[in-house]
């Protein structure tokens, strides 16, 4: 290592000052809440649902109960399916946007972002209007004589997946686009010159170079999709509880058991850390 880089590694006062807002933010909104969760998770609830501090492992034993493990498993399954569908739909879209001319690139990106200008709940209600029994989609299909009776679309697992994919697709497209846009077209030409067909060039050149964006997209879809509870309630009819529903119920719902909710949330967070760590390690190995 050169002496110059060693010097650069020691942050001066200015660097600390510049970092201070970020560090404070992390302290106040990441470290402190996590510490509270840890403290709560070993406590108990009293008659009124207040937290009675103490040290008990009972909450963690309850997390390991088959009921909640099944809820965990189902949430992971729904989130994984959402991530796969988002990747399959999002990758080609991101790639095409990145390859488009500059004028079109901006327009297409705007189209991806426009839904964010409307409240998420309103967009979910719009889906209810489309999918309900007397809704727009059934109306159209009946009018076209494609079906004889209305299809059962809303309040099904498929409706939940539609809602989740719709909500998180942009979070897959944008990071992949970020990677794909930076990819130098000369590299593809070089691959062709060296005898690669289009498919091999894509697999050997494009895919490895856009992997960081792809992994970022996977994280940005998978992690929030696991905890989502509004879509499962509104579009799934709250028939099958997801981990987000169960945790919400412990804090503001009927169960009023904050310590148990904290234990669930903590295990849940550890799960995220594990997924992140695995992805990170794979990404590093790929780069090396």
Partner 1 sequence: MTPIRLLGVVRPLLALSLAVSVAQGAEQLNLFAWSEYVPQKVIDGFTKETGIKVNYETYASGEEMLSKLLIGGAAYDLVQPPDYIAEAMINNKLLRPLDRAQLKNIGNLAPEFLGLPHDPEQKFTVPYLTGTVGIVINTEKVKEPVRGYRDVFQAKFKNRIVVVNDNREIVSWALVTLGLDQNALTSANLARARPLVAEWIKLVKVFDSDSPKTPLLNGDVDLGVVWSGEAARLIQENKKFAYVLPMEGAHPFVDVLAIPTTSKHVAAAHRFLDYLLRPDVSKLISDEFPYTNPNAAARRLLSAEQLANPASYPRLEKFNTFRDIGKAAAAADKLVTDLKSAK
Of 20-28, 147-155, 200-208, 271-279, which segment contacts partner 1 by CB under 8 A? Answer: 147-155
Count of other CB atoms within 10 angstroms of residue 36: 13
204 binds partner 1, rule: CB under 8 A: no
Count of other CB atoms within 10 angstroms of residue 63: 19
Q: Classify 49 in phi/psi space as left (phi over 0), alpha (psi -120 to 50) or beta.
A: left
Of 7-15, 164-172, 189-197, 236-244, which segment contacts partner 1 by CB under 8 A? Answer: 236-244
246 binds partner 1, rule: CB under 8 A: yes
* Residue 51 β-bridge partners: 45
111 binds partner 1, rule: CB under 8 A: no
162 binds partner 1, rule: CB under 8 A: no
253 binds partner 1, rule: CB under 8 A: yes
24 binds partner 1, rule: CB under 8 A: no
252 binds partner 1, rule: CB under 8 A: yes
Q: Which is nearer to partner 1, 135 or 212 (CB)?
A: 135
Among residues 170, 173, 154, the alpha carbon closest in space to that of 115 is found at: 170
- β-bridge pairing 51-52 and 44-45: antiparallel
With CB under 8 A as the contact rule, the residue among 43, 173, 233, 268 that binds partner 1 is: 233
With CB under 8 A as the contact rule, the residue among 8, 50, 107, 200 that binds partner 1 is: 50
Question: How many residues contact partner 1, by CB under 8 A?
Answer: 39
Q: How far apart are CA 267 and CA 275, in angstroms?
A: 12
Distance in Å, CB of 69 to partner 1, minimum? 9
Of 128-136, 169-177, 194-202, 221-229, which segment contacts partner 1 by CB under 8 A? Answer: 128-136
**What residues line the site for partner 1 (CB under 8 A)?**
45, 47-50, 67-68, 70-71, 74, 113, 116-117, 128, 132-135, 150, 152, 154-155, 233, 237-241, 246, 249, 251-258, 260
């Amino acid at each position: 290592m050169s002496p110059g880089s060693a010097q650069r590694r020691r942050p001066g006062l200015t660097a600390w000052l510049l970092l201070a807002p970020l560090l404070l933010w992390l302290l106040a909104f990441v470290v402190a809440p996590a510490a509270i969760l840890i403290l709560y998770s070993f406590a108990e609830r009293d008659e009124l649902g207040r937290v009675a501090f103490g040290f008990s492992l009972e909450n963690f034993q309850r997390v390991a109960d088959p009921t909640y493990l099944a809820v965990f498993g189902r949430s992971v399954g729904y989130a994984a399916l959402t991530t796969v569908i988002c990747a399959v739909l999002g990758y080609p879209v991101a790639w095409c946007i990145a390859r488009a001319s500059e004028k079109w690139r901006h327009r297409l990106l705007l189209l991806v972002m426009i839904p964010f200008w409307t409240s998420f709940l309103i967009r979910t209600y719009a889906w209810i209007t489309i999918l309900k029994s007397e809704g727009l989609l059934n109306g159209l299909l009946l009018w076209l004589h494609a079906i004889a009776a209305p299809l059962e679309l809303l309040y099904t697992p498929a409706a939940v997946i539609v809602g989740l994919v719709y909500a998180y697709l942009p979070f897959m497209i944008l990071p992949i686009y970020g990677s794909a846009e930076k990819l130098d077209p000369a590299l593809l030409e070089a691959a062709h010159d060296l005898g690669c067909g289009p498919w091999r060039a894509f697999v050997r050149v494009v895919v490895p170079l856009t992997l960081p964006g792809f992994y970022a997209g996977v994280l940005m879809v998978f992690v929030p999709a696991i905890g989502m509870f509004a879509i499962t309630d509104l579009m799934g009819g709250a028939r099958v509880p997801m981990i987000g529903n169960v945790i919400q119920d412990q804090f503001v719902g009927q169960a009023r058991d904050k310590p148990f909710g904290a234990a669930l949330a903590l295990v849940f967070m550890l799960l995220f850390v594990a997924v992140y760590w695995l992805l990170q390690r794979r990404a590093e190995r790929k780069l090396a």
